[in-house]
Amino acid sequence: MISEKMKGLVNNNSVIRQMFEEGKIMAEKYGKENVYDFSLGNPNVPAPEKVRETIAKLLESEDPVIIHGYMNNAGYPEVREKIASSINRRFGTSFDESNIMMTVGAAAGLNCALKAILNPGDEVLTFAPYFVEYKNYVANYDAELRAIEPDTSTFIPDVEALERSITSRTRALIINTPNNPTGVIYSEETIKKIAEVLEKKQKELGTEIFLISDEPYRELVYNGDEVPYVTKYYDHTIVCYSFSKTLSLPGERIGYLVVPTEADPSGELFTAITIANRVIGCVNAPSLFQKVVAECLDEKADIDFYKTNRDILYKGLTEAGFTCIEPQGAFYLFMKSPVPDEKEFVTEAKKEHILIVPGSSFAGPGYVRISYCVARDTIVNSLPGFKRLAERYGLC
Amino acid sequence: MISEKMKGLVNNNSVIRQMFEEGKIMAEKYGKENVYDFSLGNPNVPAPEKVRETIAKLLESEDPVIIHGYMNNAGYPEVREKIASSINRRFGTSFDESNIMMTVGAAAGLNCALKAILNPGDEVLTFAPYFVEYKNYVANYDAELRAIEPDTSTFIPDVEALERSITSRTRALIINTPNNPTGVIYSEETIKKIAEVLEKKQKELGTEIFLISDEPYRELVYNGDEVPYVTKYYDHTIVCYSFSKTLSLPGERIGYLVVPTEADPSGELFTAITIANRVIGCVNAPSLFQKVVAECLDEKADIDFYKTNRDILYKGLTEAGFTCIEPQGAFYLFMKSPVPDEKEFVTEAKKEHILIVPGSSFAGPGYVRISYCVARDTIVNSLPGFKRLAERYGLC
């Protein structure tokens, strides 16, 4: 009935689906407030009020044929120009509308970029642990994702391992900072080292290697850390941005791609990416929300709410005896499982009505991902359960 | 720099782009009101007022975390249930939410369906002339689109030719009614004949052949013709619908897929299509507009405006001596070129500041497509130019 490629995905899907169904059954059985669901990365703070105001204003003042209509597949030129100016102002770059394509979120942006550059048999590298969809996105174009193993003491990219991993078939490296699932931010030093290795390997192998920076969590930063703007360090960079988390609009599917002129002197890559947007079926990013985000580029959802969540959770877990890196950004905490098989720990946690995701789902076995974009009470009320788990495993 | 697959698309794209640029230059040179641009299928009547009212109401009354948030990849269950009920009420079917997946327009819907069912080397059939993107969508999954030649006296599908074209590799037939570019509606008799042939061939070859019905123009019907609901005639049907034209929301990318239980007793196909939605990068259809369309299922943009456009254009062109089928639906008129090479005619038309698309772009050489979703004046004021063209070619 279904295609060969989809069969594996369907089988794999049922595991996650099962978890989701289990959560629903648990909520019915024990009451929603007694189930601590940390499994999803769905923002739980509302969009800034300005989003609502901007929609209302646009509906009052603009021609519906324009705001709900087709435009160039790359997006409205004035929206792209405003985004370019905003990036330039904040990061000292010099983009204009010709460098920006509006996308159906970062997921579609990644697909457009990969479709534009990958041939069958190419390799794409990424640092483990990583967002599991990268594997599926790369497989869409018959290329192969290869993961570089982490230094689990820091989860900072192992740049020497990167150098060893690059072959003549390596077409791209995907990075994600602030990182899902670890919450680590790659420092300027790390980005510079990555850029150096890619430059060196490009020369050595006579190939072009793209650095694809997936940045949905760029604005979710808690300790005042800088998130370096990657195009400044390496020419062959493509940035995939999403407003899903910054503006709490994940369902609206709105983001953009940045293709610097240095990566694309002839404009051929931008044309290819724009055609990919059309051909994969997106056609264009949703029109009204293109205009909305252009008016909300200096807005943020209440990031401090996540910061407080992080602080309470991190303190509670480490005090209970668990080992975890303090997340610097995003809204995930990657915690070491007290037993090598973290799936066993995930099952134990369920007995405390705590739902967490096995690290294996992110190519990070031995760890679990805890999403803290949840109600404050969920965190506070889950801590006694985590404490009991720690006791049971002899961590305290 | 770019992938092999994209190279052909980029080269092909420049032809259309050139036309677009040419139109802009002409508008600057001669004034916008003196250029008659019939090249694009962009609705020019506004969305019904209820769309604006519904957005305003939702923003006032609903939780932003819900209306802009993630939901199941298939869409909000209550939206899907409302759509199922609306189809059931109008067409006598018996769908529920489990048969409906919300999509980023019909283009993404087609891609999800094709990704779910196609293996490399499969064949997909369609009747020429056809929407040129079908070829690209099918190629995304390394399958091949094969066109069945038209009977140009009617542009009604040649069902005998369909029967001859089906092989053991045939995985699907895409139909599009009301049709882009001809404006023809397939009658119940035609649909029944198509279903019979597909049934017969499925048995004969021991294969499953899907009938994929692309229906963005379902509501754009001018003579009171019925557009048969295809799932009633053939089990292995998938319907791809879009609100782009019905509600004049093409930029918002909102539509749905119908997967009847008869086509998918185990639910495996629906699961695969839902995963495809995620994996191609759409993730889900835009959230706010899912809720908007669910409240506007009985609304339509001003279809009568297109009908009057059609009447004026068809009368003007036939009186001038041109040969064309009267469109029954959609907003395109497919006119016979007075010379075999319609590109020559397209060039001649430009001298009258008339922009039309060569039929070759729809696998319909010898014809031109005229989109009449334009201002009334564009049609009225273009007619003297069409008349001069007819005289020049000795048609009158």
Contacts of B115 in chain A (CB under 8 A): 3, 5-6
CA distance B162 to B149: 9
pTM of the model: 0.97
At A20 the pLDDT is 73
Residues A70, B140: C-beta atoms closer than 8 Å: no
CA distance B146 to B123: 7
CA distance A352 to A346: 10
Give the chain B residue whose CA is nearest to the CA of A61: B52
Interface test with A, best of B4, B6, B51 (most A CBs within 10 A): B6
The partner residue sitting opposite A288, judged by closest CB among B118, B252, B278, is B252
In this structure, the answer to whether residues A254 and A240 fall within a common structural domain is: yes
Give the chain B residue whose CA is nearest to the CA of A282: B108
The partner residue sitting opposite B252, judged by closest CB among A45, A109, A287, is A287
Contacts of B305 in chain A (CB under 8 A): none
Distant-in-sequence, close-in-space partners of B238: CB < 8 Å, separation ≥ 6: B113, B210, B211, B212, B213, B257, B258, B259, B263
Give the chain A residue whose CA is nearest to the CA of B64: A46
What letter does residue B330 receive in the DSSP assignment?
T
CB B2 within 8 A of CB A264: no
- Summarised one tens digit per residue, pLDDT across range A314-336 is 999 999 999 999 999 999 999 99
The partner residue sitting opposite A282, judged by closest CB among B65, B104, B119, is B104
Contacts of A133 in chain B (CB under 8 A): 278-279
In this structure, the answer to whether residues A182 and A310 fall within a common structural domain is: no
User: Total structural domains in chain A?
Assistant: 2
Residue type at A368 in one-letter notation: V
The tens place of each residue's pLDDT in chain B, 396 residues long, gives 899 999 989 987 766 667 777 888 898 999 989 999 998 888 999 999 999 999 999 999 999 999 999 999 999 999 999 999 999 999 999 999 999 999 999 999 999 999 999 999 999 999 999 999 999 999 999 999 999 999 999 999 999 999 999 999 999 999 999 999 999 999 999 999 999 999 999 999 999 999 999 999 999 999 999 999 999 999 999 999 999 999 999 999 999 999 999 999 999 999 999 999 999 999 999 999 999 999 999 999 999 999 999 999 999 999 999 999 999 999 999 999 999 999 999 999 999 999 999 999 999 999 999 999 999 999 999 999 999 999 999 998
CB A44 within 8 A of CB B309: no
Give the chain B residue whose CA is nearest to the CA of A172: B1
- Residue A354 predicted with pLDDT over 70: yes
Residues B115, A6: C-beta atoms closer than 8 Å: yes
CA distance A384 to A13: 31
At B141 the pLDDT is 98
In this structure, the answer to whether residues B169 and B200 fall within a common structural domain is: yes
Mean pLDDT of A130-157: 96
Give the pairing type, strands B332-336 and B367-371.
antiparallel
Where residue A268 sits, what CATH number does that domain have? 3.40.640.10
At B13 the pLDDT is 76
In this structure, the answer to whether residues A189 and A277 fall within a common structural domain is: yes
- Per the prediction, chain A carries an average pLDDT of 96
CA distance A28 to A35: 9
- Domain hosting residue B238, numbered range: 49-295
- Summarised one tens digit per residue, pLDDT across range A214-234 is 999 999 999 999 999 999 999
Residues A284, B251: C-beta atoms closer than 8 Å: yes
At A16 the pLDDT is 66
Q: How far is B223 from chain A (nearest CA, A)?
A: 26
In this structure, the answer to whether residues B317 and B258 fall within a common structural domain is: no
The partner residue sitting opposite A47, judged by closest CB among B6, B64, B108, is B64
CA distance A376 to B236: 48
CA distance B99 to B237: 12
Which two tokens mark A162?
Answer: 């990167």
Residues A280, B281: C-beta atoms closer than 8 Å: yes
The partner residue sitting opposite A10, judged by closest CB among B63, B115, B271, is B271
Q: How far is B320 from chain A (nearest CA, A)?
A: 32
- Summarised one tens digit per residue, pLDDT across range B154-189 is 999 999 999 999 999 999 999 999 999 999 999 999
What letter does residue A244 receive in the DSSP assignment?
T
In this structure, the answer to whether residues B166 and B265 fall within a common structural domain is: yes
Give the chain B residue whose CA is nearest to the CA of A42: B70
Give the pairing type, strands A36-37 and B357-358.
unpaired
In this structure, the answer to whether residues B175 and B282 fall within a common structural domain is: yes
Q: DSSP labels for A116-160? A: HH--TT-EEEEESS--THHHHHHHTTT-EEEEEPP-TTT----HH
Q: How far is B155 from chain A (nearest CA, A)?
A: 26
CB B281 within 8 A of CB A131: no
Mean pLDDT of A234-258: 98
Residues B282, A107: C-beta atoms closer than 8 Å: yes
Tell which of B257, B279, B295 closes a domain: B295
CA distance A345 to B215: 49
Residues B3, A116: C-beta atoms closer than 8 Å: yes
CA distance B232 to A150: 55
Question: If pLDDT is split at 50, 70 and 90, which confidence band does A163 have?
Answer: very high
- Summarised one tens digit per residue, pLDDT across range A7-21 is 989 987 766 667 777
CA distance B222 to B243: 18
Maximum C-alpha span of chain A: 65
CB B135 within 8 A of CB B145: yes
What letter does residue A335 receive in the DSSP assignment?
E
Give the chain B residue whose CA is nearest to the CA of A271: B10
Residues B9, A272: C-beta atoms closer than 8 Å: yes
On the question of a cis peptide bond just before residue A150, with omega within 30 degrees of 0, the verdict is no
CA distance A263 to A220: 27
- Summarised one tens digit per residue, pLDDT across range A41-93 is 889 999 999 999 999 999 999 999 999 999 999 999 999 999 999 999 999 99
At B14 the pLDDT is 64
Give the pairing type, strands A255-258 and A100-103.
antiparallel
In this structure, the answer to whether residues A307 and A218 fall within a common structural domain is: no
Give, in degrees to the nearest 5, the angle at Cα A351 between A348 and A357: 55
For residue B299, the tally of other CB atoms under 10 A from its CB is 17
In this structure, the answer to whether residues A20 and A93 fall within a common structural domain is: no
What letter does residue A238 receive in the DSSP assignment?
E
- Residue A243 predicted with pLDDT over 70: yes
At B16 the pLDDT is 66
Tell which of A271, A295, A319 closes a domain: A295
- Residue A306 predicted with pLDDT over 90: yes
Contacts of B71 in chain A (CB under 8 A): 251
Tell which of B295, B328, B359 closes a domain: B295
CA distance B252 to B54: 15
Residues A104, B133: C-beta atoms closer than 8 Å: no
Helix, strand, coil fractions of chain A, as percent rounded to 5:
50, 15, 40
Residues A268, B107: C-beta atoms closer than 8 Å: no
Which two tokens mark B66?
Answer: 């819900």
CA distance B300 to B326: 22
At A15 the pLDDT is 66
Contacts of A45 in chain B (CB under 8 A): 65
In this structure, the answer to whether residues B232 and B191 fall within a common structural domain is: yes
CA distance B231 to A337: 51
Where residue B15 sits, what CATH number does that domain have? 3.90.1150.10
What letter does residue A83 receive in the DSSP assignment?
H
For residue B43, the tally of other CB atoms under 10 A from its CB is 26
In this structure, the answer to whether residues A238 and A374 fall within a common structural domain is: no
In this structure, the answer to whether residues B65 and B110 fall within a common structural domain is: yes
Residues B3, A283: C-beta atoms closer than 8 Å: no
Residue recorded with tokens 């048999």: A121
CA distance B105 to B60: 26
At A311 the pLDDT is 98
Residue recorded with tokens 């509308």: A97
CB A282 within 8 A of CB A273: no
